[in-house]
Amino acid sequence: MTEQTREMEADLFGSKLRLETGRLAKQANGAVLASCGGTTVLATVVASGEKIEDDFLPLTINYQEKSYAAGKIPGGYFKREGRPSEKEILTSRLIDRPVRPLIPKGFCYPTQVIVTVMSADGKNATDVLSVIASSAALMVSDIPFAGPIAALTVGKVDGELIINPSPEQLESSTMEITVAGTSEAIVMVEGGAKEVSEAEVVKALMFAHEGIREIVSFENRFVEGLGKEKREVPVAETDDALCGEVRSLALPLLEKGLVADSKDGRKEFIKKIYEEISAKLIESHPEDKPTIDKAFDELIKDSVRRRIVDGTRPDGRDYITVRPISGEVGLLERTHGSALFTRGETQAIVVATLGSSHDEQRIDALEGDQTRSFMLHYNFPPYSVGETSNRLGPGRREIGHGALAARAITPVLPDKEEFPYTIRIVSEILESNGSSSMATVCGSSMSLMDAGVPISAPVAGIAMGLIKEGENFVVLSDILGDEDHLGDMDFKVAGTKSGITALQMDIKIAGITEAILTTALDQAKDARMHVLAKMDETITGPREELSEYAPRMLTIQLKPEKVKVVIGSGGKTIKKIVEETGAKIDIQDDGLVKIFSPDYEACKKAESYIKRIVEDIVAGKLYVGVVKRILDFGAIVELGPGKDGLLHISELENRRVANVTDILNENDEVLVKCLAVERDGRVRLSRKAALDQNIEDYRISD
């Protein structure tokens, strides 16, 4: 088939969206160059010609940023892009989540989508553009895909909803929600908000879907008449007679024990039934084990879903009941803040650590170098689900869950000016059976309060599920792992008593209506209030004092012209202060000095040192100085960096002194009193006027 080329442009939401295919990456199954303003991404998709034997979609999404896109050369020794950054991983997940459900089951060819950022103007977002480009590339390829899909970000500035707000608009926006969908339905939601109401979120999602329809319409016009013939997805052959045998043998046994208090109890029960019926059937159908296994799995799924619709969940709860919750704080003695949060069979221990500005994360991003003073890291070890695996660093799921929890907590953190600490939270999932990310949100809030961080309000999270059969649907509060796996929606909602701070939704089916969204959010609000009340039984608010092991902090505001004096030539002065006091010191160009140390006395000592360095010499005040030079008629005494005074020989003692060296030598410390500061800046000092004072009373530590 001859390669077809096309380029098309549309004005959408105040920007020009351009799509092009057929000129670049022609050996890929599909390739589309997408541009918006000065931002350009290339999306390519390739599917292997060889199927895999396993019955799943082997899809990989790789979003990659190139430094040249922003006119930069990578840092580091190798000067080339290395392992994926956190943003690259999160954007890969953002593309994957709406794309994966729309590739049909049975397409078992290894498939890879690679999106490369080739130009970035810093104004137009690369993530939503990458979703659109990926969709278009799949549409023009031979890979079956129930698209097109589109994505956009919705914000709210001055009470008005805005599609794809600029970076400047996002600074004052009360929400930043990325939505992806087809022309018929929303399929993915990811975002954060500043304690907004459920009604505002529903309105924003419906507003976003109208915008998505416009982009999808443009994509349809772009791909019309283009593309290769789609590969056929083989329909799996089923042995109806054998499946009927599986059902007739297993169903009566399953009915007795699909409901159990624990995940392990249900797992053991199902395993026992499987072993019993498979032993009977494999004896008469030795070649049909895969068919038996698949039929049994489908029976489990259908049975659980039917029971839920009929009113019985796998653990016996009704639709709205949240599993038992318990909490504990301060359980780790030497940490700054710690919390244990348990909800049913999901458990997280979450630790908060406070640091100085030196502990901020430095990020080399396309938009420029950035720093991050709040970090939340989520760890999901295999023992949390009773499994073993190689541990080679955090996976994409762990990074994604950590980012969701961080988004939920960020709106309640104190302003940097009020609480200029660097904050790191680490969540260790000890046990998991449904929504460990929301347990992380709850534990993070509690650990921050235990550390004494003045958050504006506690934050809790809850995961909602959906079972939809025809026009009937039920929304489930606090879903189990099985309900997530077998259900039609995973909707995580976090927030305070006042409103939503983060949400994430993945949908496996078409047809999620406004009514379903409204029901899910209202039900999630009730569940969140219940969880917040349970958290309140453990800790009601931030502790009045920081942990004794947390660093103490003092701030000093200097005149900007004094910054160089404190730093000293080559950093000599500030290094000396750090060495002598043991405190960490951060000085900003505007003159703000932050002093950190676990020892509050060290902070005070460093503060005193800095104040003496920058203070003006005042007549009548006593100072501890160092003799820098001996003269015939006296000595030059340094009172601080750039602050010298003359100590005349007549002011050494209450008697006549023949030689200065009879009393002082170079580098001696001496307590002196300032007699006068002349108009020309010269300082006159006296030692004899301070002889009745103890030098220890005037050292830096005071």
For residue 3, name the pLDDT band (cuts at 50, 70, 90): low
Residue-wise pLDDT for 149-200, tens only, equals 999 999 999 999 999 999 999 999 999 999 999 999 999 999 999 999 999 9
CA pair distance 489, 463, nearest whole angstrom: 10
Measured distance CA(135)–CA(61) in Å, rounded:
12
User: Coil, strand or helix: which one is 477?
Assistant: strand
pLDDT at 700: 56
Q: Average pLDDT for residues 48-77, to the nearest whole number?
A: 89
Q: What is the pLDDT of residue 702?
A: 40
Angle between helix 436-451 and 396-409 (nearest 10): 50
Q: Say whether pLDDT at 435 is over 70.
A: yes
Terminal C-alpha separation, the chain: 85
Residues 6 or more apart in contact with residue 77 via CB below 8 angstroms: none
pLDDT at 286: 74
Q: Residue 616 above 90 pLDDT?
A: no
What pLDDT, on a 0 to 100 scale, did the predictor assign at position 2? 45
Question: What integer pLDDT is reported at residue 267 of this predicted model?
Answer: 83
Residue 124 token pair: 């137009």
What are the C-alpha distances in Å from 510 to residues 191, 468, 593? 21, 10, 56
What is the model's pLDDT at position 82?
87
Residues 6+ apart with CB under 8 A from 311: 318, 319
Mean pLDDT over residues 226-239, rounded? 80
At residue 348, does pLDDT exceed 90?
A: yes
Across 358-381, average pLDDT:
88
SS3 506: strand
Mean pLDDT value of segment 592-598: 88
Q: Rounded to whole angstroms, how far apart are CA atoms 115 and 30?
A: 12
C-alpha to C-alpha distance for 404 and 419, rounded to whole angstroms: 23
Using 50, 70 and 90 to split pLDDT, how confident is the model at 415? very high
Mean pLDDT (whole number) for 260-285: 82
- Which residues make beta-bridge pairs with 629? 636
Would you say 34 and 40 are in contact if contact means Cβ atoms under 8 Å apart?
Answer: yes
Lowest mean pLDDT among 206-220, 329-343, 512-526, 589-603: 589-603
User: Per residue in 90-130, pLDDT tens?
Assistant: 999 999 999 999 999 889 999 999 999 999 998 999 999 99
pLDDT at 701 over 60: no
Q: What is the pLDDT of residues 573-584, one digit of tens each?
A: 889 889 988 888
- Six-digit token string for 688: 């004899």
User: Quick one: pLDDT at residue 237?
Assistant: 67
